[in-house]
Amino acid sequence: MSAHVLVAYASKHGSTREVAEAIAETFLEHGLGVDLREAPSIADVESYDAVLLGGALYTGRLHPDARRFLRRHRAGLAQRPLAVFAMGPRTLAENEIAGSRHQLDRALAQVEELEPAAVAIFGGVVDPAKLRFPFNRMPASDARDRDAIHAWADEVAAAFATSPVPT
């Protein structure tokens, strides 16, 4: 029996959702059962063998829907494998990745009982047409590394496939 995985995401402008979709596709390629859902729409995680959460980082903080998801489902998440990714830096420069990782780690530290099996930072997207002033003055960019996303999803899928199923 293959693992049944929840891929939850918190996205304001859609790029985090697109990455969650790509990860879900990779999980399906590995034979995992997948439900792809927006984080606020999830009532419980009890029917899943593992959970992946993706959230965007905005002005130094993890998307509020992702933070609420972690707090609301902390008991269930602590009992099953969990992986978390965040989107944020405008470039893949080492200092920007490290800064975003620090922001994600700070958010995860707020839910002490959770120890994700895998954590990743992926480059973010800036689409000025979707932003309000003054952010709509920023130059457009897309720092997503699709190969890195796919490679990380492969690793997580393998870990989820071999993890013990919660009882």
Question: Residues 83-135: pLDDT tens digits?
Answer: 999 988 677 789 888 998 999 999 999 999 999 999 999 986 655 566 556 66
What is the C-alpha separation between 80 and 166, in angstroms, rounded?
6
This prediction has a pTM of 0.88
In the chain, what are the domain boundaries?
4-162
Question: Residues 14-52: pLDDT tens digits?
Answer: 789 999 999 999 999 999 999 999 999 999 999 999 999
- Higher-confidence position of 42 and 57: 42
What contacts 93, CB < 8 A, 6 or more positions away?
none
What is the C-alpha separation between 162 and 121, in angstroms, rounded?
23
Contact 22, 149 (CB under 8 A): yes
pLDDT of residue 92: 78
Topology of domain 4-162, per CATH? Rossmann fold (3.40.50)
What does the chain come to in residues? 167
What is the C-alpha separation between 112 and 107, in angstroms, rounded?
10
